Amino acid sequence: MTRKTRQEPAPLLPELARGKLLTVEEAAERLNTTTRFPRRLIAERRITFIHVGRNVRIPEAALEAFIAAGVVEPITLTRRGEAA
Q: What is the pLDDT of residues 29-43, one digit of tens each?
A: 999 999 999 999 999
Our measurement of the distance from residue 45's CA atom to the centroid of its chain's CA atoms, rounded to an integer in Å, reads 9
Q: In the prediction, which pLDDT does 76 show? A: 85
Going along the chain from its start, the domains and CATH numbers come out as: 16-69 (1.10.10)
pTM (2 d.p.): 0.72
- Sign of the alpha-carbon dihedral angle for 21, 26, 30, 35: positive
Question: For residue 59, is pLDDT > 90?
Answer: yes
